[in-house]
Structure 1
Amino acid sequence: MTNPTGITADFRSTAEVCRGLASSRLIALFACEHGIHGQYQAGVKFEDERDAVLGLPVYSLYGRHKKPTPDMLVGLDTLVFDVQDLGMRFYTYVSTMLYIMEACAENGKSLLILDRPNPLGGIVCEGGLLQEGYESMVGAWSMPIRTGRTLGELARMVNDLKGLGCDLDVIPLEGWSRSMQYTDTGLPWMLPSPNMPTLETVRAYGGTCFFEGTNLSEGRGTTRPFEWIGAPWLDGARLSESMNKHRLPGVHVHPVYATPAFSKYQGELCGGVRLFITDPQRYESVNTGLLLLHEVNALYPQAFRWLAPPQEGSRYFIDLLTGGEEVRRSIASAAGLRDIQVSWGQDSAAWKELARPYLLYT
């Protein structure tokens, strides 16, 4: 289970390394969202295929199936998981990992996770816990939005607390500590998905991803995805002034125009704002995103709207992203914003204590 981020420090792919192991035989590849080569845009479903370089089947876990079927696992002893995560609940790779754990447990296969750094460090957690009934591909288990944990630590925690019984082994990182940002590791940054090109994008993503559930562009189709949000009816100068009055730590909000080349408002000139993260250690991505939602609601009550559920009876996408209905129902008012901030702060503090026994790094 890998993608372009599954590389060594000297740029060799995990799949190539596994194929060269004398004591093992590589028999299949598994692909999460965006594909085995990172070739698909967000949300694009794809089918099984064959890898032209390795000549192996590539099983899609972002199409008809979200977890491996028994047929996919025939002849397999151990599934190796190696992708770079972002440390955010709604980035789908963590959900795919949990579904793989379930499949391995159900089919008597072992799972080997090659751990990778949380690019935002391992100390800060933000956001409320996912509520029961809001599980989806953008949130498969009750964790905060910004987890503050590596995938290996999350896997150990879920395996125990959910009682999955997965035969799990985690190969831990060497030399990584919780206070390290990705830039401190000296490792190459390979974009884990088409709209996650830089670490600046990753830092902003934890809050601006909320706008995927709204009628604002979250920056897809611009050169600054997730660092910029906007819409044709939005006055960036007005929004930036309202945001900067909050004196949020580690960020400056600045008016910027953009014309998305694809996705929302393709080819339309949009007013908007760009987030300049001035201090990554102090920056609170989730809280910044909440305040952005609140200010846009307050400034543009007639123009702003949540994207409607795709079909009758299904969830609003913003509810799946935020883990419940509170944001959609309450964010417009100052009192509602404060209630969410208090509740989410309590959830994050409780999560840190719950996760403590499963930490692999200090």
Structure 2
Amino acid sequence: MNIVCFRFLTFSLLASCALLTDALPRSLAFAETAELPRKSPAELGLQADQLDRIDELVAAEIEKGNLPGCVVMIGRRGGIGFARAYGHRQLEPTSEEMTLDTVFDLASLTKPLATATSIMKLVERGQVRLREPVATYIPEFAQNGKNSITIEHLLTHQGGLIPDNPLADYEHGSEEAWKNIWELAPRNPVGTKFAYTDVGFLVLGQVIERVTGKDVATFARENIFEPLGMSETGYLPEEELRARAATTEKRDDEWLRGEVHDPRAALLGGVAGHAGLFSTAGDIAKYAQMILDAGKVNGSQLFSPLTIAEMGRRRNVDGNERALGWDSLSKYSSNRGELFSDKAIGHGGFTGTALWIDPELDLFVVFLSSRLHPDGEGSVNPLAGRIGTIAAASIDAKESEANDTVVSSSSSPADDTKNTLLGIDVLERDQFALLKGRRVGLITNHTGLNSAGERTIDLLHAAPNVELISIFSPEHGLQGKLDEPNISDTRDEATGLPVHSLYGESRKPDAKQLEGIDTLVFDIQDIGTRFYTYISTMGLALEAAGEHDLKFVVLDRPNPLGGVLVEGPVLDLDNKSFVGFHEISVRHGMTMGELAQMFQAEDKLDVDLQVVNMEHWSRDQHWDQTGLVWTNPSPNMRSLTQALLYPGIGLLETTNLSVGRGTDTPFEVIGAPWIDATKLAQFLNQQNMPGVTFVPIRFTPRESKFAKEACEGINVIVVDRQAFEPVRTGLVIALALRELFPQDWDMARYNRLLANDQVYSAISEGTTIEQLNELIAPALEDFKSRRREFLIYR
């Protein structure tokens, strides 16, 4: 009896086998997925009759000989709504039926699940940086033109490396194999072409080992799989797992079962960054749930939501959409469901595996097969893609009472609350009714995006009954990349609209620029610090709107530092400037919409102001609790950590100090050639400031202040965000510099951003932080009282 006939005969039992699996007690059928509750499709907002179509599809493909069997698991944040085992996990030398707990060789699913996720854990810990050259961690890698390849290049397959170097390069031991890889030269110019490469992920596996001292198998087990309860996931499975593994092909006349199929991984001992991971559908579902929950596992945060968001952010790589370690929509995504959203990420494996996770649809689809068994001829990617399409189509648009799942652009994959809706999201949802018939000038930059990543420019340009006349850009220009004292006017390439710079000869819109406009719309992301100039741009534009009888609309956005803690000196009226627009404290705890209302009232501006409020944002939320993707608001504001440090560290940059500009960590470090790093760090640590510690360092800025000069200083490390007070910390650093280095620290321009004469004088004369706080308190309490009537959010 040939294999195809055998499959046809045995598949007549398929439906009953699936029903039998469904009927098994949960303790038996779902013993390894106990943490993920099994629910009916209806409880998860899925249509059971639509999902049942999967049976017929799989049956047809098994009959064709494209696979011996498979496991399909579909779920949402509320649990697993579909889990069935089809066909066989082994046909030769003996027949074994497929079971839900079958262990599969995941092949290239190793890349995102083990390697990329491990890299992101190291990124989150500050041990690896995406923009850093790989040679920073593996110096030997820099040979033959590879010195500019970064971690992100490898994660997105644009490092120019060969897909696979010859198998012979691995046949003389691992030491020789790595030497051969280090000596490779790029095939393509770095960062210009998408070329899927196993070699790149082999190298990433070594980055993990160099940084942590642990191979990818150990690091991933300890930091990902064990915390997730993925007890049946790992490299080199033990005997019990091998016994229920799906069989692949023969090697040396022996069937591979629980041994890695990839020949290069095998020659490296079974552990590699590109292949070698084994797992079950139930375990993979746990990982998928963590992604849908924005890094949360059983109520604890395994990864920051920002880490998960960055990992899943789409990059256009040579016409292919890729995320970090994941596929999004590329020439390799034939296993992708056709109805998935733009936020879906996924990957496949050569052995016949696929996983897709769609945060917007709140959906994951696990497809595991061993397509190569027994003849090496199987094909499953189209089948996996059709199953994904069925899964997405099964979603019921009505809210599921069981888990409050809403299938819409505002559904919340992050946690039990909904993601924040930005002002632009609300305006778009309401079909731009507020701007109907208006002729609009839009004040924005690269941060003016809706929660799906679409530009406010494009949305307004395409909106019916809205005429977008022109664009106005703030400091750093429309793209947020310029660090120049004056920025010229330009034109937006996508729309052809003129872009008037509000950081050039004039910083306030003038009559000529406002010709033909009846409404100014403001949509720029602020960072919650008084001297960040986007506030001033809004304030001056608000004044111009009043002077020219224009409507002014603010599309509100979160204060990324939250809206609760308010601290620091309040600006003196006599010290108003473009870096100090209004009498507010350094850390003001207000949104741009709230500030606009304060400016209008306190400056008595006769202007028609309207704020489009956010939804699902509360004052106690920092950015990483909103479910929104972070966009660097300016060239040297590259992370939420730096934004948190900026109110205190930024105060110091007008003095003869480097605050890290020209390094990879602006505002996380300060230093100068005249500082004794150990002395300063010890002094500051003795102050026992809450939520922060200081590490003595040496660094050399590439540009900006002290460019190419060796500096000593400190790395400011936030250890408890809730306790940390950035302005207090900055003031204590200023006091330390005044006490330790009175002849070296030139504080003549320190008041430029501090903007409070009394506090400046007290520091220059020598005082304590307690005395400073007493000095600051009266005006600060007055500001807190003033701001209350303008607060929009609870």
Scaled by the length of structure 2, the TM-score of the pair is 0.44
Shift of 1:79: 1.0
1:276-324 CA-to-partner distances (Å, cap 9, x unmatched) read: 11111111100100000110111111111135xxxxxxxx4x2230112
Q: Does 1:166 align with 2:632?
A: no
* 3-state SS of 2:699 partner: coil
Which of 18, 21, 24 is 2:466 aligned to?
24
Shift of 1:325: 2.5
Q: Does 1:121 align with 2:553?
A: no
Q: Does 1:33 align with 2:465?
A: no
Contact 2:759/2:772 (CA < 8 Å) preserved in 1? Answer: yes
Which of 782, 788, 792 is 1:350 aligned to?
782
What corresponds to 2:791 in structure 1? 359
Letter in 2 for 1:9: S
1:118-155 CA-to-partner distances (Å, cap 9, x unmatched) read: 01100111112111221111101111110011010011
* 3-state SS of 2:466 partner: coil
In structure 1, distance between residues paired with 2:647 and 2:756: 16
Shift of 1:117: 0.3
Unaligned runs of 5+ in 1: 308-315
What corresponds to 1:291 in structure 2? 732
What corresponds to 2:665 in structure 1? 224
Contact 1:127/1:347 (CA < 8 Å) preserved in 2? Answer: no
Letter in 1 for 2:784: K
Q: Does 1:82 align with 2:523?
A: yes
What corresponds to 2:512 in structure 1? 71
Contact 1:34/1:44 (CA < 8 Å) preserved in 2? Answer: no
* 3-state SS of 1:123 partner: coil
Which of 612, 617, 624 is 1:176 aligned to?
617
* 3-state SS of 2:513 partner: helix
Contact 1:126/1:147 (CA < 8 Å) preserved in 2? Answer: yes
Which of 559, 565, 581 is 1:140 aligned to?
581
What corresponds to 1:101 in structure 2? 542
Shift of 1:202: 0.4
Contact 1:294/1:333 (CA < 8 Å) preserved in 2? Answer: no
Contact 1:326/1:340 (CA < 8 Å) preserved in 2? Answer: no
Shift of 1:333: 4.9
Q: CA RMSD in A?
A: 1.3
Q: Which moved more, 1:233-242 or 1:186-195?
A: 233-242
Larger gyration radius, structure 1 or structure 2: 2
Q: Does 1:329 align with 2:770?
A: no
Q: Does 1:302 align with 2:743?
A: yes
Query: How many pairs align?
Result: 352
Contact 2:738/2:766 (CA < 8 Å) preserved in 1? Answer: no
Q: Does 1:11 align with 2:453?
A: yes
Contact 1:126/1:345 (CA < 8 Å) preserved in 2? Answer: no
Relative contact order higher in (CA < 8 Å, ≥ 6 apart): 1
In structure 1, distance between residues paired with 2:627 and 2:485: 32
What corresponds to 2:752 in structure 1? 320
In structure 2, distance between residues paired with 1:166 and 1:13: 27
In structure 2, distance between residues paired with 1:7 and 1:128: 32
1:36-63 CA-to-partner distances (Å, cap 9, x unmatched) read: 111211x531121222222111111111
Contact 2:759/2:775 (CA < 8 Å) preserved in 1? Answer: no
Letter in 2 for 1:73: L
Letter in 2 for 1:76: I
In structure 1, distance between residues paired with 2:767 and 2:752: 22
In structure 2, distance between residues paired with 1:343 and 1:2: 38
What corresponds to 1:310 in structure 2? none
Q: Does 1:244 align with 2:676?
A: no
1:91-137 CA-to-partner distances (Å, cap 9, x unmatched) read: 00001110000000000111110000001100111112111221111
Q: Which one has a larger percent strand, Structure 1 or Structure 2?
A: 2
In structure 1, distance between residues paired with 2:536 and 2:758: 22
Q: Does 1:198 align with 2:642?
A: no
Q: Which moved more, 1:190-199 or 1:279-288?
A: 279-288
* 3-state SS of 2:698 partner: coil
Q: Does 1:253 align with 2:659?
A: no
Contact 2:451/2:629 (CA < 8 Å) preserved in 1? Answer: yes
Letter in 2 for 1:199: L
Shift of 1:258: 1.0
Contact 2:519/2:553 (CA < 8 Å) preserved in 1? Answer: yes
* 3-state SS of 1:36 partner: coil
Contact 1:105/1:166 (CA < 8 Å) preserved in 2? Answer: yes
What corresponds to 2:366 in structure 1? none
What corresponds to 2:141 in structure 1? none
Scaled by the length of structure 1, the TM-score of the pair is 0.94
In structure 1, distance between residues paired with 2:664 and 2:460: 35
* 3-state SS of 1:344 partner: helix
1:65-106 CA-to-partner distances (Å, cap 9, x unmatched) read: 111001111101111100100111100000111000000000
What corresponds to 1:340 in structure 2? 772
Contact 1:250/1:283 (CA < 8 Å) preserved in 2? Answer: yes
Letter in 2 for 1:96: T
Letter in 2 for 1:101: L
* 3-state SS of 1:282 partner: coil
1:192-247 CA-to-partner distances (Å, cap 9, x unmatched) read: 00000000100110101111121010110011101100001112111111111111
What corresponds to 2:356 in structure 1? none
Letter in 1 for 2:632: L
In structure 1, distance between residues paired with 2:768 and 2:640: 31
Q: Which one has a larger percent helix, Structure 1 or Structure 2?
A: 2
Q: Does 1:52 align with 2:484?
A: no
What corresponds to 1:268 in structure 2? 709
In structure 2, distance between residues paired with 1:337 and 1:213: 21
Letter in 2 for 1:259: T
Contact 2:759/2:776 (CA < 8 Å) preserved in 1? Answer: no
Q: Which moved more, 1:249-258 or 1:95-104?
A: 249-258
